[in-house]
Structure 1
Amino acid sequence: MEVPQSSTELIKHLKEQMQFIVASSSSYDNGFEGEAKRLATSIRILVHDTNRSKSLLEILGVKKSIQYHSYLEKEDHSKTIAFVGLSMRFTDEGLRYYPKVGQPEYKLTFQDWWNQPVIYNKKNNINFSRKNIILAVSNKDGGAHVDPNLSERYAKLSRMNGFGWEVFKGEEEQGVVNGPELPIVRQTAYELYTTLASEFNNTL
C-alpha cells in the first residue's frame, strides 16, 4: 500500500529543490564548476518526466501552464552556421565559457524552453538543447549517475573542444579552458529558479 504525499509535503519538496539550486549555484559561482552536476539533478527532478516517473512540477500540476524564463528568444537556428547561448571571455589561461546570470528577457512554453537549442555548430554536427545537456550531465556524467561510456557527440563537446575554437595569444596558441556543458547547466538553473520564484512567490 502506498501513501500519497500531501500538497504541503510536495511544496516542501519544491522549496528544498529551490534551496538546493541556490546553494549549488553559490558554490559554482565561487569557483567549483563541478557543483553544476548537482544542479542538473535538481533540474531533472523538477521538470523531467519519463514513462516510470513524474517530475515534481508535473505532480504539482503546473509544469505545462508556466512560462519559463529564457535568455534566448524562440527562433530557428537551422540556417545558422554556429551559435552559443553563453558568454565567452578570454582569460590568461585561454577562452572560457561563462553562464549568463542577468535577468532573462524572454518567456517560453515548457516544450519550447526545454528543447530549445542552446549550443549549435552545423559544421561540427553539434546541436544540444537544454534537455540534452541536463540529462547527459545528470544521468551519465556525475550528477545522479556515472556511466562508463558517453555518447561520442557529448564527449567531443565536453572534453575535446568539439566546437572547434582556435585561440591565439599573439602567435601562441591557447586552449579552451572549460567545456560549455556545465555553464549551460548553471544558466539553465538560474532560468528555472527565476521562473519558479516568480510563479510561486505567494506560495513559498
Structure 2
Amino acid sequence: MDFREHLQRQLGFLERSCESYDAGYRDEAIRIATIIRVLIHNTKASTSLLQHLNATTINLFSTTSEPSPQTLFFVGLGMMRMSSDGKNDYFPQLGDGPPISTFVPVPKWWEQVVMVFGGHRISRRDIVLAAANKDGGAHVDLKLTPQYEALAQDGSVGAFIYETQGKMNEAPIEDAHLVSLRQLGYEVLHSPELQALAKGI
C-alpha cells in the first residue's frame, strides 16, 4: 500500500471540502474534521496516515498563540466582522489574522488549546474528534462532548451588539465549531512539511 498516495488523496479531499465551505456549504466543515482525524489520530484499532509514514513529528502550521492557564476567554481561530448596516459575521481568519503564525510539531499542534470560554479549554483534538466521531463525520452520537456541545451552541463565543434606528440589537455568534474546523483545514493545507511529505520531497 502506498501511504504517500493516500496522503495526496486525503489532502485533495481536504482542499475540496475547504472550497465547498467557502462556497457556502458550511456543514462541509464536518468532513474537514474526518480528514484531519485520518491524518493524525491514532487509536488501538486504527493507525494515522502520518504514523504509517513515520512522520508524526513533522511541523504543522499554527495560526494562533496558546492562551495562558489564567486566560478566561480566548477565541483563536475565528474573526468577527461588523458593518454599519447590521450585517455581521464570524468567519475563519485563514491568512488574515494576527501575525502569530508558527510551525509546531504534530503532537503539540493536536493538543494545543485554541478556545477558552465558559470554563472550557478546547484543543484542536477536542474539536476534530467530536465532529468526526459524534457529529456526523464518521459517526452520529446522541451525546456530544461537553466542550464541543458548548462550542456548537449559538452565542457560545459571544454576540454581536449593534444599533439600528436608535435601537440596540444583539445577535448570537453562530457555528463557531464549523468556523474553527475550516481554520484547521487552512492550517493543514498550508503546512509546508506536510505538503513536501505528500510530494516525496
Q: TM-score, normalised by structure 1?
A: 0.84
Q: How far apart are 1:145 and its partner, in Å? A: 1.1
Q: Supply the distance in 2 between the matched residues of 1:29 and 1:95 (Cα, whole angstroms).
A: 17
Q: Give the equivalent residue in structure 2 for 1:200.
A: 197
* 1:57 and 2:53 matched: no
Q: How far apart are 1:93 and its partner, in Å? A: 6.3
Q: How far apart are 1:175 and its partner, in Å? A: 1.7
Maintained 8 Å contact 2:155/2:173:
no
* 1:84 and 2:75 matched: yes
Q: Give the equivalent residue in structure 1 for 2:120.
A: 126
Q: Give the equivalent residue in structure 2 for 1:186.
A: 182
Amino acid at match of 1:145: H
Maintained 8 Å contact 2:33/2:137:
yes
Q: 2:161 aligns with which of 156, 168, 173?
A: 168
RMSD across aligned C-alpha pairs, in angstroms?
Answer: 2.2
Q: Supply the distance in 2 between the matched residues of 1:69 and 1:120 (Cα, whole angstroms).
A: 20
Question: SS where residue 200 of structure 1 aligns?
Answer: helix
Q: 2:89 aligns with which of 85, 88, 96?
A: 96
Question: SS where residue 142 of structure 1 aligns?
Answer: coil
Q: How far apart are 1:177 and its partner, in Å? A: 4.2
Residue ranges of structure 2 left out of the alignment (5+ in a row):
none
Amino acid at match of 2:38: I
Q: Which of 105-114 and 133-142 deviates more?
A: 105-114
Aligned residues: 192
Q: 1:95 to 1:139 in 2, by over 3 A?
A: farther
Q: 2:60 aligns with which of 61, 64, 68?
A: 68
Amino acid at match of 1:200: L
* 1:109 and 2:105 matched: yes
Q: Identity percentage over the alignment?
A: 33
Q: 1:42 to 1:202 in 2, by over 3 A?
A: closer
Q: How far apart are 1:76 and its partner, in Å? A: 4.6
Residue ranges of structure 1 left out of the alignment (5+ in a row):
none
Maintained 8 Å contact 2:67/2:113:
no
Question: SS where residue 156 of structure 1 aligns?
Answer: helix
Q: Supply the distance in 2 between the matched residues of 1:185 and 1:24 (Cα, whole angstroms).
A: 11
Runs of 4+ in structure 1 deviating by more than 4 angstroms, as ranges, are: 91-95
Q: Give the equivalent residue in structure 2 for 1:17.
A: 10
Q: How far apart are 1:111 and its partner, in Å? A: 1.8
Q: 1:94 to 1:127 in 2, by over 3 A?
A: farther
Q: Give the equivalent residue in structure 1 for 2:140.
A: 146
Amino acid at match of 1:88: M
Q: 1:76 to 1:28 in 2, by over 3 A?
A: closer
Question: SS where residue 131 of structure 1 aligns?
Answer: helix
Output one character per residue of 1:44-78: Cα deviation in whole Å (capped at 9) or x when no partner.
000001111110011111112x11111123x4521
Q: Supply the distance in 2 between the matched residues of 1:55 and 1:201 (Cα, whole angstroms).
A: 14
